[in-house]
Copies of this chain bind each other. A is one copy, B any other.
Amino acid sequence: MSPQTPTTVRLDEQHLARAALTYLAEPGDPVLGVLLEACDPAEVLAAIKAGTLPRAVPGGGDNPVRGRALEAALGRWRIRLPWLPGDEQVEAACRDGIRLVCPADLEWPGGLDELGPARPYALWLRGQADLRLACLHSVSMVGSRAATGYGEHVAGEIAADLGERDWTLISGGAYGIDAAVHRGALTVGGITIAVLACGVDYAYPAGHADLFADIAAHGLVISEWPPGRSPARFRFLVRNRTIAALACGTVIVEAGERSGALNTARHAAQLGKPLMAVPGPVTSAQSAGCHRIIRDWGATCVTRADDVIEMLSPLGTTLAAAAPLTPPRDPGPAWNAASAASRDELDPDSARVLDALPARGAAGTSTIAAEAGVDLDTVLRCLGLLAGSGFIERCDRGWRLRKPPSAG
């Protein structure tokens, strides 16, 4: 799976199954998400193809996925079976720097697991950066397409400052703030990630074809949709949860009252991740959404990169101040190297919270807070940081230590 292999890539059964599912189901399909938490992806794919899904998913008694919901889901997935490419075609798509990353892979970012059943089935990547390492210190920064000159200027400045300090930027691919964020990061040679709502080989908007090529050359263009898939309005909203989940925190730069950026903000808040907003003139409609979430949602008012870093490194002694983790040339032992290096760099609160997790099994947020002796705000911030750094992951019963993944 080395990104620059010139010959055809070979994918194992699990990867092929997850790749196929990205063709059949829309990301965020609640039925498929629950199925994949309980069943093997290859078995799920085989059952969809055969039309022989079990009438109820094994697992919790309050599992909503049974009977008619399952039948309806089977119907909407099977309707796309004629479009499903063969395994060879899927493998052939993995070229020109395009590759597939699945939940069990070393490169899978821990933050996505916080989405639970809404977790992506797999991610398509275009570019050479290591996705998991890039997301360890990352900020998603999004805003209005119809941005003002002020908004684009500020987004570019903050992104450049963050990029210079080895923070990865994460945004969408739209005109306006999204583009200003990527350009700001690229200007200083920073890593930036564009999360698209269409295939990573699909330039939407068309005017951003060159920008996406630049991003892929220095960072990553990623998507939950397979190559070739076109964008649709509803896909942007589904995509937004991934932008929020990948990053350590989210910054809204400009957003009108009905901007899609507020949807990303809501996801960040729901995930318990730091939510920030850049204020602007109260006479500007494009800043109205930012002011509203500062006032009503408790988003933190940030005006510069320092403010953002301070929010993501509560005690000022944490990962932000540590030596930057640059992606290793050989991504193989990345997980162990990163975790060993990072553990020593944790701030005292995060270290206590990490120590408070049980060695086996999981614990709820309030139990962890009590065990660590920190308040609920602190434990939420630390859990987010620890999850974003890959130490822990969310599960049904709360949070658990993340084990080094086994192959496959």
A339 CB to closest chain B CB (Å) equals 32
Count of chain A residues near B, Cβ 8 A:
20
Task: Give residues 132-175 of A contacting B (CB, 8 Å).
Answer: 150, 153-154
Q: A154-B282, A282-B278, A283-B150 are in contact. Are A295 and B291 (CB under 8 A)?
A: no
In-complex Cβ contact of A282 among B280, B288, B291, B294 (8 A): B280
Please name all residues of chain B whose beta carbon is closer than 8 Å to the beta carbon of A280 when the two chains form the complex: 279-282
Task: Give residues 44-71 of A contacting B (CB, 8 Å).
Answer: none
Please name all residues of chain B whose beta carbon is closer than 8 Å to the beta carbon of A294 when the two chains form the complex: 279, 294, 301
Interface status of A389 (Cβ within 8 A of chain B): no
Please name all residues of chain B whose beta carbon is closer than 8 Å to the beta carbon of A288 when the two chains form the complex: 303
Please name all residues of chain B whose beta carbon is closer than 8 Å to the beta carbon of A282 when the two chains form the complex: 154, 278-280, 303-304
Please name all residues of chain B whose beta carbon is closer than 8 Å to the beta carbon of A302 when the two chains form the complex: 295
Task: Give residues 274-289 of A contacting B (CB, 8 Å).
Answer: 278-283, 287-288
Interface status of A355 (Cβ within 8 A of chain B): no
Bound CA span A304–B285, Å: 13
Please name all residues of chain B whose beta carbon is closer than 8 Å to the beta carbon of A313 when the two chains form the complex: none
Please name all residues of chain B whose beta carbon is closer than 8 Å to the beta carbon of A153 when the two chains form the complex: 283
Please name all residues of chain B whose beta carbon is closer than 8 Å to the beta carbon of A154 when the two chains form the complex: 282-283
Interface status of A307 (Cβ within 8 A of chain B): yes
> Is B278 within 8 A of A303, CB to CB?
no
Bound CA span A104–B291, Å: 43
Interface status of A300 (Cβ within 8 A of chain B): yes
A336 CB to closest chain B CB (Å) equals 38
- Residue of B with least CB distance to A311: B295
Please name all residues of chain B whose beta carbon is closer than 8 Å to the beta carbon of A279 when the two chains form the complex: 279-282, 287, 291, 294, 301
- Residue of B with least CB distance to A276: B295
In-complex Cβ contact of A301 among B283, B295, B303, B304 (8 A): B295
Q: List 16 A-B contacts (CB under 8 A).
A: A150-B281, A153-B283, A154-B282, A154-B283, A279-B280, A279-B282, A279-B291, A279-B294, A280-B280, A282-B304, A291-B303, A294-B294, A294-B301, A295-B301, A295-B307, A301-B301
